[in-house]
Amino acid sequence: MTEPRVSIRVPDRPRRTHAERAAATRGKIVDAVVESIAEVGYRRTTAQEITRRAGVTWGAVNHHFGGKQGILAAVLESSFDHFASLVESIPRRGLSLEQRAGLFVERAWLHFSDPRYASTFQILINHAPTESGDGGPRWQDTMAEAWDAVWQELFDDVGIPIDQLHALQRYTVAVLTGLAATRMMQGANPTEPTAELAMLRDTLVGGLVDRRSP
């Protein structure tokens, strides 16, 4: 005697909204640009290469970003968002400045050694857009303000003058940028800059802690 068949109905997946679909498409396009620049370089990341990797038309790219300037600015913003998400996960309370400085260097390097930053670096070298498409503030100014906000929130209890704090920030960015550039030039098997990152951490600790007002 055969057993009766039991029909199991899988619930229908909820349909995505227009906003969700648009966000997914934008994400695919940004990821395609990052992937392409990291793999084949800025100059070979053509419209055809972007649309092939993203699985969309160039018309869709223009619809979502308004052309090349818009998509490059979006990649830069996405790259910074990745950096901010790593740093913002560092606890603001319950850790000493030494611990926060160490975690900052560790998390920041996760970003600067990521393909997203490699793409950012190439965009900055080859084609740095200067103004937003809607006539708003330059993206460089926007990103600098956001960088300042992340930095000052993490080290809001430091007693050194603000110009010294900003100098440490610029120094940190310069060192991380240099290490990232060196990593890119090393090709497929880069050496992890463990000693250099430790030196950067020690420099930050010295600047943030030893020179604080008593």
Q: Exposed, middle or buried, 147 (CB in 10 Å: 0-12/13-18/19+)?
A: middle
pLDDT for 57: 92
Q: Which residue has the tokens 């000493």?
A: 96
What CATH architecture does domain 16-66 belong to? Answer: Orthogonal Bundle (1.10)
Distance CA 96, CA 105 (A): 14
Domain coordinates in residue numbering, the chain:
16-66, 68-210
CA dihedral 122, 123, 124, 126 (to 10 degrees): 80
Distance CA 112, CA 183 (A): 10
Superfamily of domain 68-210: Tetracycline Repressor, domain 2 (1.10.357.10)
pLDDT for 68: 80
Tokens linked to 79: 């790259």
Nearest CA to 154 out of 115, 81, 212, 99 is that of 99
Q: Exposed, middle or buried, 26 (CB in 10 Å: 0-12/13-18/19+)?
A: buried
pLDDT digits (tens, 9 = 90+) for 147-177: 788 888 888 788 788 888 888 888 998 999 9
pLDDT digits (tens, 9 = 90+) for 16-65: 687 888 888 999 999 999 889 888 888 898 989 999 999 999 999 999 88
Distance CA 72, CA 129 (A): 8
pLDDT band at 14 (very low <50, low <70, confident <90, very high): low
Nearest CA to 73 out of 35, 31, 130 is that of 130
Q: Exposed, middle or buried, 104 (CB in 10 Å: 0-12/13-18/19+)?
A: buried
Segment (H or E) for 130? none
pLDDT band at 7 (very low <50, low <70, confident <90, very high): low
In the chain the first and final C-alpha atoms are separated, in Å, by 89
DSSP 84-103: HHHHHTS-SSSS-HHHHHHH
Q: Which residue has the tokens 């110009």?
A: 163
